[in-house]
Structure 1
Amino acid sequence: MSDTFPASILGIDGHAHVFSRELDLTSARRYSPDYDATLAMYQHNLQSHGLSHGVLVQPSFLGTDNSYLLDALKQAPQQLRGVVVVERDISRAELDTMDRSGVVGIRLNLMGKALPDFSEPEWTVLFGHIAELDWHVELHRHVADIPTLIRGLMPFGVKIVIDHFGRPDARLGLDQSGLREMLELGLGGQVWAKVSGIYRLEGSEQENLDFACDLLPLLVESFGPQRLVWGSDWPHTQHEQRITYTSVVKQLQALGCTPQVMRSLLIESPQVLFDFSVVEA
């Protein structure tokens, strides 16, 4: 399928994962998959839902061994981009090689971890490389800590991407700790957010959707539609028994986006952020 996808952009899925149950998993993992999520399966989902391009994000349970993701990028270099997880002391040569393979960012999955001190020398060197490569730094953390992390990253001049709405708790409403600050920081033009993982917002299915519907207009107002991207979060790890690609597409449709906002989420914004150079349909 990698040779037959549309050359023009029909829609970009800005967040998905591929892996095999046979891969070596990091000892620090919080979750172990018992199934495969292959590139072919992912490409089938894109095609079945009228999408053409995708962004593969390194899953936390594979640690810093990005080889499976990088191999997928090599199989479909025009169709895919990648976001990797790296050690702080990774060499510039390794980063340059990844850049040529279609990598456009690094992910900091900080769920359940101590907050890092970005002023430490190793972080400073790494973020200097990221800025020079024009990559982004993706943050996965509960919303209460997101403003602190954003402020720590801003001096490096890197693009900052917030995972899954910033992982707020839908049950706590719009006034919960960190959420308003996150929205204020979105006004500066350096921060992007992923409209993804609605089912990870801690409430019931209806609570999560209602909260996302309330939050999205605030995100559009603060970030602007040009800095919001949609992602399926396929294969919906830890929620795969009840969530499907079709169900997350339906959740996106239920958000009530205007046609222009939907186009921004699926085409215009991710095309810029993830450096897709092909011309949209």
Structure 2
Amino acid sequence: MADAPVVDAHAHAFTLDMPLSPTAWHAPPAAAPIEQYLAALDANGVTFGVLAGATLFGTYNDYAIEACRRHRRLRTTVILEPDTSQREMRAMAADGVIGVRLQWRHVREVPDLKSGAYRVFLRRIADLGWQVHLHDDSDRLPPYLDALEAAGVTVVVEHFGRPNPDTGGTACPGFQRVLRSVETGRTWVKLASAFRLASAQLARDAAAELLRHAGPERLVWGSDWPFAAFESSIGYRQTLDTLQDLVPDPAARRRITCETPLKLFFA
């Protein structure tokens, strides 16, 4: 894609014999082993990858951590319970874990980030220099962002912040709250999975607003391989082509795919 190393900041890898969570929102039709992911990176000129902890498998982070241990071109986030000890988290950090993923889009009753347990957990995340990767519908993001900003952690909002077309699209309160969070200097946004938004035009609008308010230094790109629930309709090259459509300026794309994610995830 470019003459500089490209970072895919959002992907998943798993085997079918991994323990599926009882609350999993999707049952993968096929395995997505790490070797297949690395082959997709190589075939498309992508150097580095960041795996996203998958709530499909609950707190079973072992496969992703082992992949990072064996392949230093990878990093990962993990799904953890808030009582995870600092010792356990430090061991994970040594193996390539860079943060915790809060994937609460399919959770009806989310935990209270201002509870005692989560205040301690967020302090441990901050002490380690880890990040919180956050995914939910835009309407539910504001209270999370309030708590995370108060805790002083680095935040990476996933999937464009998922603006809601029913409440104004990029003008909806949740997406506007994401833009304000970026202004704090501790929040980044992933231009990942445009195919998950309500329309291609909404993805274009969101990308344009994020570029205007955040700039490429606060944005990263991710493929979302292997495209859960869209396995038969999305291909890896298509996600790169979509990025080119969303960010036509080559200099901005280089910041988003190389310079910004290298500093954020691999420094």
- Report the TM-score range of the alignment, normalised by the length of the smaller protein: over 0.9
Take 1:24 and 1:30, find their aligned partners in 2: how far apart are those partners?
Answer: 14
CA distance in 2, matches of 1:228, 1:101: 25
Aligned to 1:47: 42
Partner of 1:188: 184
Residue 3 of structure 1 corresponds to none
Contact 1:9 1:52 in 2 (8 A): no
User: In 1, distance between residues paired with 2:165 and 2:41?
Assistant: 28
Measured after TM superposition, the shift of residue 125 of structure 1 is: 1.0
- Partners of 1:258 and 1:177 in 2: how far apart? 28
Correspondence for 1:5: none
Establish whether residue 147 from structure 1 lines up as the match of residue 142 from structure 2: yes
State the match for 2:169 in structure 1. Answer: 173
Deviations 1:20-54 (A, max 9, x none): 11111111111111211011111111111111000
TM-score (norm 2): 0.94
Name the counterpart of 2:262: 271
The runs of at least 4 aligned residues of structure 1 exceeding 4 Å deviation read: none
- TM-superposed CA distance for 1:256, in Å, is 3.5
Any unmatched runs of 5+ in structure 2?
none
How far apart are the structure 2 equivalents of 1:271 and 1:26? 32
Give 1:1-281 correspondences, 5 Å limit: 10-77=5-72, 79-113=73-107, 114-170=109-165, 172-202=168-198, 208-274=199-265, 276-277=266-267
CA contact (8 A) 1:209 1:251 kept: no
Consecutive unaligned residues of structure 1, counting only runs of 5 or more, are 1-7, 203-207
Distance 2:162 2:171 in 1: 14
Q: C-alpha displacement at 1:170, in angstroms? A: 4.8
CA distance in 2, matches of 1:37, 1:170: 32
The residue matched to 1:216 in structure 2 has which SS? helix
Give the AA of the match of 1:253.
Q
1:4 corresponds to: none
Contact 1:197 1:233 in 2 (8 A): yes
- Describe the superposition over 1:193-240 as per-residue Cα deviations: whole angstroms up to 9, x where unpaired: 0001111112xxxxx222222222221232231111000000000111
C-alpha displacement of 1:94:
0.6
Distance 2:114 2:169 in 1: 33
Which residue number in structure 2 is paired with residue 205 of structure 1?
none
Q: CA deviation at 1:257?
A: 2.9
Question: How far apart, CA to CA, are the structure 2 residues paired with 1:255 and 1:223?
Answer: 15
